[in-house]
Amino acid sequence: MDCFVPLARGHRNDGAGLFRQPRETAEISTFSSPLAGRRVARMNGVGNKILVIDLRGAAFLPTPGELRAIHRAEGLDFDQLMALSDPRDPASAAFVRIYNNDGSEAGACGNGTRCVADRLARTGAEAVTIETKAGLIACERLGARVWRVDMGAPRLAWDEIPLAREVADTRKVDLALGGVADFGPASVVNMGNPHAIFWVGDVAAIPLESVGPRFETHPLFPQKANISFAQVLARDAIAVRVWERGVGVTLGCGSAACATLVAAARLGLTGREARIGLPGGELTIEWREGDGHVLMTGPVEFEREILLDAALFEAAARK
């Protein structure tokens, strides 16, 4: 059952279920965020920390400062925040914008998309279509909280990823950097976001916290990139760790899992379907041969619902 947790530190319950600020500490606010008093759903997809906020009917979107303020608040840290707006296409339930915790906007988030589908389908719907900048995304329920998402076709040309210059083969790109260990060539893929995947013998041995940000901002990536280190375990199994642009080390990244499977299949390391093991759990990824679309199947977990307290935005505005 979904539960609601008010975020109201220092407040007391007046006995009627309402939370009020004690009179002795009340202050007149000089700043007001339209997000104050709204609820967010805290969820995760294979450990990928997701917040979902429904802003349909509203005439505003979160600002980068508001997003950073939410991320800094106790119990509200996130990898991605999924903001639902009114649909533009009548075939969709909502237009979804995807934000990283540094306030930047992302192009895709597979785990977040499954979380959005789960929230929109609380009435029992078995399928949901949502809309993003990348277009319409079809989501299908396969279990109580298991969803399959059509992530669309990967983009593989150098200028679609995009790269700063032309390369001969996007399956094997030299990303050597001075002062950083040489992990060999990387495969580059766009799955709504730019991704670079290094193939290594032991993902656990990679110092992701130090090398991730260096490769994320490599001069070859004008829009930065998500950086993955992948270890092929079998023809149908890959272990992956991800440094996510605008986020950092993450327990799970759905678009990185999709990009990794595509890159592995292009190199002949796996078939067109494999289990992708991330630190937070496992996803099944299929690169469908018929239309070239990538299908991602995995679980979602609802944790709680939280009320956004005006105080967290006021504190951020004073900084």
Residues assigned a catalytic role? 109, 253
Distances (CA, A) of 181 to 178, 198, 210, 211: 8, 12, 11, 8
Distances (CA, A) of 276 to 129, 144, 231, 284, 290: 24, 21, 10, 6, 22
Distance CA 195, CA 142 (A): 28
Q: Please give the distance of CA 73 from its chain centroid, rounded to a whole number.
A: 19
Contact present, 151 and 294 (Cβ < 8 Å) = yes
Tokens 């199994």 map to which residue?
237
